[in-house]
Homo-oligomer: A and B are copies of this chain.
Amino acid sequence: MKDKDFAINNEEQITLTRDNVSSAVIKRLPRYFRYLRILIREGKMRISSAELSRRMNITASQIRQDLNCFGGFGQQGYGYNVTYLYARICELLGVSAGFQAVIIGGGNLGRALAKNEMFEKRGVDVVAIFDVDEALVGTTVNDIPILHIDEFERYAATHTVDMAVLTLPKAQALEMAQRIAETDIVGIWNFTGQELDSVDGNLIVENVHLGDSLMTLNYRLNSRNKE
C-alpha cells in the first residue's frame, strides 16, 4: 500500500520567511515532529538521513536539505541527534510556547476536537468551549467548560487566548471571525469552510479543508478503477 499522505490543501509557492526557512520546509516540519516523537518513544538517540528517509518516504537528500535549514546538521557516520532535532523543531513550531485555545462551536466536531489528545501533545491548552445552545452551557467536555457565546468578549478580555478553533456552522463563521478580530486573539483554526481572508489583516488563519482530502482519495480510487 502506497500511502501518499496527500495534502488537505496546497500552495506550492516557495517563499522565504524571516528566518530564511522556506514555507515548503515549514509545511514538512509537523511531519518531522511526528516521526521524531516516534523515535524518541522507541528510545532511539540518533538516526541517519537514510533511515529517516525510509521511514518517512522522503528522499535522504531532501531530509538533509530540510534539516540543514534550521541548523540540524548531521555528522558523517553518526547521523542526527534525535533529541536535539526534536527540541529544535518543537521550538520552531511553538510546542513549548504554551498556547491557549478556545473552541467555538460545541457540536460534534467541536466535541471531537475537545476530546482529542492532539492539543495536549502539541502543547496547546484548550481552556473553554463556546456555544449558543443553553442546554450545553454549564456542562463540560473532557473537563473543558462550555460557556455561552455571549460571554466570549468578556472571556477573551480577561484570559490569555492565542487561538480560536472555529467549528460552528459556515453561515456564522464570518460574523464570528469579525468578533474575534476585535479581541486580542490572533490565531484562527478554521474548520468552517468559509473563506476568512478579508476579515482582518492581523488575523492568522489556518484553514482545514477536509473536502480536499476526500477529493484526493476520490481521485486515487477513480484512477485505480480506470486501470
* CB neighbors of B among A77-95 (8 A): 92-95
Question: Are B30 and A215 interface neighbours, CB within 8 A?
Answer: yes
Question: Are B1 and A11 interface neighbours, CB within 8 A?
Answer: no
Q: In the complex, which of the residues B23, B97, B197 contacts A218, with contact meaning CB atoms closer than 8 Å?
A: B97
Q: How far is the CA of A17 from the CA of B5 in the complex (A)?
A: 16
Question: Are B207 and A189 interface neighbours, CB within 8 A?
Answer: no
- Residues on the B chain within 8 Å of A3, using CB: 195-197, 205, 207
Q: Per-residue 0/1 for A187-218: is the Cβ within 8 Å of any B Cβ (1 yes, 0 no)?
A: 10100010111111111111111111111111
A8 contacts chain B at the CB level, 8 A cutoff: yes
- Residues on the B chain within 8 Å of A213, using CB: 8, 30, 189, 206, 208
Contacts A7-B9, A30-B211, A195-B3; A94 near B218 (Cβ below 8 A): yes
Question: Are A124 and B219 interface neighbours, CB within 8 A?
Answer: no
- Residue of B at shortest CB range from A118? B211
A34 contacts chain B at the CB level, 8 A cutoff: yes
Q: How far is the CA of A217 from the CA of B190 in the complex (A)?
A: 10
Q: How far is the CA of A8 from the CA of B58 in the complex (A)?
A: 16
A121 contacts chain B at the CB level, 8 A cutoff: yes
How many copies of the shown chain assemble into the complex?
Answer: 2
Q: How far is the CA of A60 from the CA of B214 in the complex (A)?
A: 26
Question: Are A28 and B10 interface neighbours, CB within 8 A?
Answer: yes
The 10 closest A-B pairs by CB, nearest first: A94-B222, A7-B7, A30-B212, A108-B112, A8-B8, A30-B215, A109-B112, A206-B217, A94-B218, A118-B211
12 sample A-B contacts, Cβ–Cβ < 8 Å, listed by A number: A3-B197, A9-B30, A13-B62, A30-B209, A31-B209, A93-B218, A94-B218, A122-B214, A187-B221, A204-B221, A206-B213, A206-B216
The chain A residues found within 8 Å of chain B, CB to CB, are 1, 3-13, 17-19, 23-24, 26-31, 33-34, 57-59, 62, 92-95, 97, 99, 107-109, 111-113, 115-116, 118-119, 121-124, 162-163, 186-187, 189, 193, 195-225, 227
